[in-house]
Structure 1
Amino acid sequence: MPLHILDRLNHPLWPAARAIYERSFPPHGRKPEALLRRMLERGQAYVFVLANEDSQARLHPAAAMALAGPGGSGLIVDYLAVDPALRGQGLGSRLLDELERWALERTTASALVIETEAGAGKENEGRRVFWERAGFVAPDGHVHRYIWVPEPYAAMYRPLPGREGGLLPPPSGRQLFRWIEGFHARAYRGFREEE
């Protein structure tokens, strides 16, 4: 299952990737499509898609998607989702491995960086376990609270092989959130929803 990198939303795989994105993240938790389009056009992010090439392609033309872009010394993985019908098959981990390979070849990033819900609950705990199994570490107990989102978040990172020296000293949770917030600030700067 090859990786496809979308730098425009007019790509034939975008409708299938969008369907995964919309099923996986509630409207208040995802970026509007106009903002995604703008981010891609400006080179601030890319949509990464694992696409099926077997007989199931009609049912599941895209298996997993991620939105990621540079931030600080990391590649910020802003969203990552797997088609609900295909979960539990290792596709999320596979997509992260592909992101790592891409980052090593095409960027100077020293780590993949994510933010995950830090609140209690079975679903949030399951997400944290997924990230830990995928090699992500939380550098400290820092919990971040956004003004516009009631749920607390924690940042995690996965060092890129051979680039660990770029993370010395290891980043703190506050440092990771500076990178994440910088990524978001660049995305939203000057954006109006009606665009």
Structure 2
Amino acid sequence: MTLTLRTWDSWDDEIWQQIKPIYEEAFIHGAKPEKIIRQMLDRQIAFLHGGYEGDELVAMALTGLGKNDAQQTMIIDYMALRHDRRGRGEGRLFFELLRNWGIAHHRINAIIIEAEAEDTQENRERIVFWEKCGFQPTSYVHHYIWIPETYRALVLPLQPDFQVTDDGQQIFEQITDFHERSFRKLKNKTSTRSRKGKS
């Protein structure tokens, strides 16, 4: 079983139409609208990833970079495996590809995710998955003003000098900033990022 990663830093509607079914199936609640995802790529604050076995798309992810110049972090906003591919270890393989991409292309010091904090079987299973990938849950529980669910941050340090110095609130400041930048209205300005798209 071999997966390969393809990454886009600009909007490609044909690629999105392939990724969209996996995204919508996995994130019935709490998914960002397509318009916002397109805007995130247009604003150069996000990357869209596809996981392929040969030419077959089996996974997707949406990531961004945290705003911390001293310790560069990568935020995994969404990551999903196609439903018929689950339970085969491919989720961890796909995550490893994302991790390696972040290290190679952006020299990241840590990876951050957020997970629903409510104690349900489904949420516990998600936390266990991320812990198997090396993530450490933080104790701080965040309440967004616009949604009822509560969330906690998980962090995967990639450098020995990366430390969480509080209960996770500083980590959530980066996550919140990323979300705020995602929903901020797009201004008309010329893109400075390479428009080649796929990397």
TM range (shorter): 0.7 to 0.9
Change (3 A) 1:99 1:171: farther
Contact 1:115 1:156 in 2 (8 A): yes
SS in 1 for 2:140: coil
Query: Residue 97 of structure 1 corresponds to which residue in structure 2?
Result: 96
Deviations 1:119-157 (A, max 9, x none): 011101111111111100013x21111112211111001
| Contact 1:35–1:187 (CA under 8 A) maintained in structure 2 | yes
Residue 6 of structure 1: aligned partner: 8
Please say if residues 48 and 63 of structure 2, whose CA atoms lie closer than 8 Å, have aligned partners that are also in contact: yes
C-alpha distance in 2 between matches for 1:108 and 1:7: 17
Runs of 4+ in structure 1 displaced over 2 angstroms? 11-14, 168-172
Q: Which whole-Å CA distance do the structure 1 matches of 2:33 and 2:10 have between them? A: 15
State how far apart, in whole Å, the 1-side matches of 2:108 and 2:13 are.
26
Counterpart mapping for 1:61-80 below 5 A: 61-72=56-67, 73-80=72-79
Partners of 1:3 and 1:169 in 2: CA distance:
29
- Cα contact 2:75–2:112 (8 A) shared by 1: yes
For 1:142, the equivalent position in structure 2 comes to 140
Find 2:168's aligned residue among 161, 168, 173.
173
More RCO (CA 8 Å, sep 6+): 2
* Unaligned ranges ≥5, structure 1: none
Q: Secondary structure at the match of 1:101?
A: helix
Within-5 A mapping of 1:113-192 = 113-139=112-138, 141-160=139-158, 163-165=159-161, 167-168=162-163, 170=165, 172-190=167-185
Are residues 101 and 149 of structure 1, via their aligned partners in 2, closer, same or farther at CA, if it must alter by over 3 Å? same
Q: Residue 196 of structure 2 aligns with which residue?
A: none
Deviation per CA, 1:59-86, whole angstroms, max 9, x where unpaired? xx31111100101331000001000010
Give the whole-Å Cα distance in 2 for the aligned partners of 1:35 and 1:169: 30
Could you state the TM-score of these two structures normalised by the residue count of structure 1?
Answer: 0.86
TM-score (norm 2): 0.84
Q: Would the aligned equivalents of 2:45 and 2:64 in 1 still touch at CA under 8 Å?
A: yes
Larger displacement relative to structure 2 (62-71 or 6-15): 6-15
Consecutive unaligned residues of structure 2, counting only runs of 5 or more, are 187-199
Partner of 1:85: 84
Partner of 1:20: 22
Aligned to 2:189: none
The 3 A distance-change label for structure 1 pair 159 and 171 is farther
Q: CA deviation at 1:164?
A: 2.9
Structure 1 counterpart SS, 2:136: coil
Q: Any conservation in 1 of the 2:10–2:44 contact (CA below 8 Å)?
A: no
Identity among equivalent positions (%) equals 37
Amino acid at match of 2:26: S
Distance 1:69 1:164 in 2: 22
The structural deviation recorded for 1:37 is 1.0
Read off the aligned partner of 2:168 and give its amino acid letter.
G
Count of matched residue positions in the alignment of Structure 1 and Structure 2: 181
